[in-house]
Amino acid sequence: MRIFLKLLCSSLVLISVSINAQNCTLDIGGKNTETMISVFQLNEAQVATLETLRRLLAVETGHLEERIEKLLAEHPQSTQDELIKMADKYKVLQQEIVTVSYESDKKFLSEFNAKQYERYLQLCRAAIRRPIAVVPKVYNDSIAPK
């Protein structure tokens, strides 16, 4: 039964990833902060925003991961119906993690200027991913597009 549970959870994660694989995410919760700073030539305010969003995301996803751990540890798993109910609850929590991550990326992208956002769009096209739509920010020291 434990093997079935692990296979079920793994399948749900793969399905969740494949459904959301079309979105062009930045993964601000990941380990590529320095790459983002370099690729998008972030200014100091943007770096501070990135770090704030990373901390907030870590807290939010941490709470969701704790709820997943509790679900896996405490939910009845004796029957197929119980496993299906647990899988449904697990899917909801996994989707919440995806949604929180997406919203963090969207907040961060809204801090990009027009050139940074265009670079993001180019990378998304190259990766054949759907970009997150935001309106780039106009900074006082930015040159407005013609």
All structural domains of the chain with their residue ranges: 2-18+25-112
Task: Give residues with Cβ within 8 angstroms of 138, minimum separation 6.
Answer: 113, 114, 144
72-97 pLDDT, tens digit per residue, is 999 999 999 999 999 999 999 999 99
Given a cut of 70, whether residue 20 has pLDDT beyond it is no
Task: Give residues with Cβ within 8 angstroms of 129, minimum separation 6.
Answer: 21, 22, 23, 24, 25
Single-letter amino acid, residue 99:
T
